[in-house]
Structure formats: structure tokens, C-alpha cells
A = this chain, B = another copy of it.
Amino acid sequence: MHIPDALKSEFHSQLDTASAVIHRHPQPTLKNELVQLSEYAQESDTRDSYGQGGIVSEFEEQICELFDKPSALFLPTGTLAQCVAMKCYSEASGKNGVGLHPTSHLRLHEHDAIQHLWGLSVHFMGEAQRSLTAVDITTLNPEHVTAIIVETPMREIGGAMPSWDDLLTMRAWCSQHNVRMHLDGARIWQATEYYQRSLAQIAELFDSIYVSFYKDLGGIFGAALIGTDELIKPARVWSRRAGGNPITLYPEALSARKGLESYLPKMPDYVEFTKTLTDLLSSAGFEIIPPQPKAAMFHIRLPCNATIAAEKLVDYAQQQGVIVLPLPRAEQDDKAICEVSIGDRALEQAPEFWIRHLSACFL
């Protein structure tokens, strides 16, 4: 997939002026984001010192409560959070293998860090085009695998989610075979509606959890690794080794806390909106992945290639001031695939508004 740079850059400049945008939350200029953050900060908020004290420690405690786990570590990225967790599990168990779905972030977006940097080996489970199931993980040899990473919602397949029953069966298998079960919960905030359980109830199934603060929650950047004291203590050492322990992460912790307050309570609305919108889109003839989304995101496969799709998006934005989709993130069989995360920007309009504009742009 190749979208010309000029198109991308025109798309981004349209983003700044569009009257309606379907993807995620409003994104202020960086200047305005800093103004908002400075207004949000309290005089009583203080810096951490290399992750100790101040709002970083306070925020870690807040995350522990939310997920009902003993310990949490605020980190710059999910790449670091998950690799560190796997390294700690490997050291504790003496086993070197990690079970991954073929669409795992560790496989697709980290230059094989888990192997090349962290010295672990990857064992694939499940199939790229569908959700992970309990049967998939039984293909692993628990003698070699220290932990599995279970992602839900599964980003690369449009936010599809393993069923709760499957998660329970996976948990039982992991407990039986002394394998740690780790949640790639970058977007777990979207999952409580589908599972009809709280974040803490979902977390109870897992030995550890990674969550992201800049995607659904609108933070600047940042992630947390959540789990037992036995995990988080060595994780602090490994994150320092990896250069992930700057003198402070206060702007990021502050914006993460702000995002949690602003956006987490609205997740049920985003999920509801997603269902209505994608039902209407399907009826209008659009191809949605997964066919009936249950999270606050979905993919849409367009009847044209990525460059043509990008041209249409840009032309439409120029003419109508409406951005109906983000730029394509993939292309399959000459069909562009766009990923939509539903947040405050989509909700500023009725679902019918989006159907009208999406249809006018693409059908």
C-alpha cells in the first residue's frame, strides 16, 4: 500500500479545519493541548522523580484500584510494557517462549523486539483473520511457553473480541499448565459492555494487563503494566534498563488521568453508537469488519484501492468539510481498509449524518 505523501499531508491539513471528523476525539493543536493541560493541573500536583512519587505514583494507585490489582507501573509505551512483562515471566519461570496471535502488536509493529532485543522466542497461536479461541492456545507446548498474550478487543481485526467463555477456558488451561496469561488491553476500555463485566472483573482472569492511555483515552502518550508486586518489582528494573525511566513522566501521567476522567465514562455511548452506525452502514452496502462490531471501533473495507480511497477522502473533505474516514491503514486485494475508533468526534453528529456522507463519498 502506498499513498502519496502529498495526499497524506493534504489530508492532515483538512483534519485541522474540518467541521466534522469521524475518528476518535477532538485533537487540539499542541499549543491548545498544553493550555488545557495546564488548566487541568492542580497546584498540589507534583512531579515524580524517576517514576517515584508525585502524580505518577498517585496515578499508578488509581490504576491499581480500577483494575483491582496490587501493583502498576506507568511507562512510555506499550511496546515496553509488554516486552518487559514477558521478560520478567521468562526470568521467573526459566521458560523462553511467548504465545502470540499472528496479529499481535509484538509481531507487526515492534521490529521483532521480543526476539532480537529481549531474547525470547515466539510461538504463534490462532489465525490472523479471526479471534483467538481457547482451542487455539492448546496448540502451544506449555513446557516451552512462559506466557500467552491475549488481546481484546483485537485491533488488527476491527476490534473483534474472544468470547468470555473462551477467556475462562484459556484461564483454566494457563493455570493448569503454569503459563501466565497476559492481557494486551490497549483498548480494554471498550470491552466492558460486551463482556458485561467491570475492568476489575475482566482483569481478574489475567496475571497481568497492559493498557494504553493515548488511544481511546486521548492522553499524550503512555501505558501501564498492571499485575502483582512480584511482576512489577523486576519490571521497574527492566524498564530502566530499556531506557523507559525518564526523570519524570508528569505531562503524560497528567494527560492520562485527564483522559481517564473525560473519556472512560463515555465508553458505553461509544459502543452503542458504533453498533447503530455499523448496522446502518451494512444496510447501506458497506463491508464492515467484524460484521457486527461489539467494541467502539470497526474496520471498513472500501470498494477501491488505498490511493483512490485517500483521494476520495481528501476531495470530499475539501468540498464538504467533512472527514468521513481516516486514511486507509491497509489494502487487501486492491481494497482499502480504514479503521474507525468511535469517540467524541463521531458523536457530535447523528449516525445518519455519517451514513449520508460516507455514502456520498464512496457509493
Contact = CB atoms under 8 A, between A and B. Distances in A.
A46 interface: yes
Interface in A125-144: none
Interface residues of A, number: 52
Contact of A237 (B41, B77, B111, B243): B111
Contact of A243 (B31, B35, B244): B244
A143 to B, nearest CB: 25
Nearest to A119: B119
Interface stretch (A196-204, A247-255, A303-311): A247-255
A245 B243 CA distance: 11
B31 A38 contact: yes
Contact of A240 (B31, B84, B113): B113
Interface in A98-121: 110-113, 116-119
Contact of A76 (B38, B76, B111): B76
Contacts of A55: 30
A262 B221 CA distance: 26
Given A35-B38, A76-B76, A221-B247, A242 B30 contact: no
A240 B110 contact: yes
Interface in A14-52: 29-31, 34-35, 37-38, 41-43, 45-47
Given A30-B47, A251-B251, A77 B38 contact: no
B251 A34 contact: yes
B80 A243 contact: yes
Contact of A242 (B42, B45, B243): B243
A222 interface: yes
Given A41-B31, A46-B30, A47-B30, A214 B247 contact: yes
A291 to B, nearest CB: 30
Contacts of A110: 240-241
A34 B37 contact: yes
Most chain B beta-carbon contacts within 10 A, residue among A29, A77, A243, A245: A243
Given A76-B246, A77-B244, A111-B237, 7 more contacts: A29-B46, A30-B47, A31-B43, A35-B38, A80-B244, A214-B246, A220-B251
15 contacts: A29-B45, A29-B46, A30-B250, A31-B38, A31-B42, A34-B254, A77-B243, A77-B246, A81-B243, A110-B241, A112-B241, A117-B238, A220-B248, A222-B246, A251-B251
